[in-house]
Each structure stands twice: as structure tokens, then as C-alpha cells.
Amino acid sequence: MGHGGESRRTQAYDGELGAAVARAQKGDEAAFTVAYRLVQPGLLGYVRGLVGDDAEDVMSDAWLEIARDLGRFQGDGAGFRGWTATIARHRALDHLRRQRVRPRASTLEQDVLDLPGPQSTYDQAMESMSTEYALELVGGLPRDQAEAVLLRVVVGLDGPAAARVLGKRPGAVRTAAYRGLKRLAKQLGVESVTDKASRTLGDST
């Protein structure tokens, strides 16, 4: 399951990404721009799942670190996505820690009571899922599942890479991603039939 269309899509870019990173490490700023454009959308999607609307700011910080430490990095295109995802995650967690001092609901923590009305969700979702709705769905998952799903689907990491980013065992991350996706599929499938599904979505986390 984990290797859906997204993984394949990102894997196709990995060769290009790896070459761009290698050139950037030699000082080529155009190559750095290429690398940025290849990984930024996925990273932003992942971080958005972690911190919501502050994702742009968090990624801005993350890129400062990535740009600074690029010389330290060793690896290929896939490795670069894992490495940058790790940095982005740390920045996002820092951000969440700061937020805890100055509380404000993050996407992952907020209650998912404001889901779209049950009568239309499934059809709408399948036609085109809005970013907000997708975030709410993913945000309704337990955190480990949400992160595993995001790293896999949005950043395009494979199981071992996602496991390294999360500091967990590959098996645990694979299971979390599987459960998360299964749960999302169930919610999407059942929600339009019964209102109850949207309640369990919020309650069962």
C-alpha cells in the first residue's frame, strides 16, 4: 500500500534531485533552486499537516538551516528528501513547543468537529479534496499515523526513510501509515452514509 502514486511520482524526480543537490553542494545556486522547487511543495504539505497555517514560516526557518548545512549532507535525491524532512520536522516540533507556551490549536491537535457536512463529503472529496479538508482528515488521525501518512504520501519517503525521520522502527511506521490510510479510506467511504463517522473521527484520537 505505502508505495502509492505519490511515492512513484517523487521517485521519478530523485535522479534529477540528486544531481541538483550534488551541483548545489559545489556551489551552484541555480541547482539549489532546482532542488528547492523539487522538495519544497512536499515538505510544505508535510509541515502544514503538523503546524497548519504556520507551515510557510516554519519551512522558511527550515530552509535557512538546509541552506546552511547543505555541505554536510551526504546522499542521493531520496536521501535529500529524508534529510530535509528531518530538518523540517525538527523546526515544526520546535514551533509546536513554542505554541504550547502560547497556546493555539494546531492542525493535529484541534478537534475535528468542523468537518464539512456529511451529506456531501464523499462526493466532494473524491472530485477534489480541498487542502483544508485533507488537513482535517489527516489531523484527525493519531499523531504517529498522521505523520507516517504525510511522510509517505506527501513527502514521498519510503518506509525506512520515514522511519529514520521519525526516529522509529520501519515496521512501526509502516503499520502506522497503513492504519492511517485505512482509517482515512473508511472515513471517506462511511462518512457520507452516517454522521457517526465524523464523530468517531474526532473522538477516537
Site for another protein in 91-120 (CB under 8 A): none
Q: Does 15 bind another protein (CB under 8 A)?
A: no
Q: Does 29 bind another protein (CB under 8 A)?
A: yes
Q: Does 34 bind another protein (CB under 8 A)?
A: no
Which residue among 17, 20, 49, 50 contacts another protein (CB under 8 A)?
49
Whether residue 154 contacts residue 49, with contact meaning beta carbons closer than 8 Å, is answered with yes
**Distance in Å, CB of 137 to another protein, minimum:** 8
Q: Cα(80)–Cα(32) distance, rounded to whole angstroms?
A: 12
Whether residue 18 contacts residue 77, with contact meaning beta carbons closer than 8 Å, is answered with yes
Q: Does 22 bind another protein (CB under 8 A)?
A: no
Half-sphere exposure of 86 (CA within 13 A, CB side): 15
Whether residue 66 contacts residue 40, with contact meaning beta carbons closer than 8 Å, is answered with no
Site for another protein in 56-75 (CB under 8 A): 56, 59-60, 63-64, 66-75
Q: Cα(129)–Cα(76) distance, rounded to whole angstroms?
A: 32
Q: Does 9 bind another protein (CB under 8 A)?
A: yes
DSSP state of 102: S
Q: Which of 43, 41, 50 is nearest to 83 (CA)?
A: 43
**Distance in Å, CB of 48 to another protein, minimum:** 7
Whether residue 41 contacts residue 84, with contact meaning beta carbons closer than 8 Å, is answered with no
Which residue among 13, 14, 19, 76 contacts another protein (CB under 8 A)?
76
**Distance in Å, CB of 195 to another protein, minimum:** 14
**Distance in Å, CB of 103 to another protein, minimum:** 25
**Distance in Å, CB of 189 to another protein, minimum:** 5
Which residue among 19, 23, 79, 96 contacts another protein (CB under 8 A)?
79
Q: Cα(141)–Cα(204) distance, rounded to whole angstroms?
A: 8
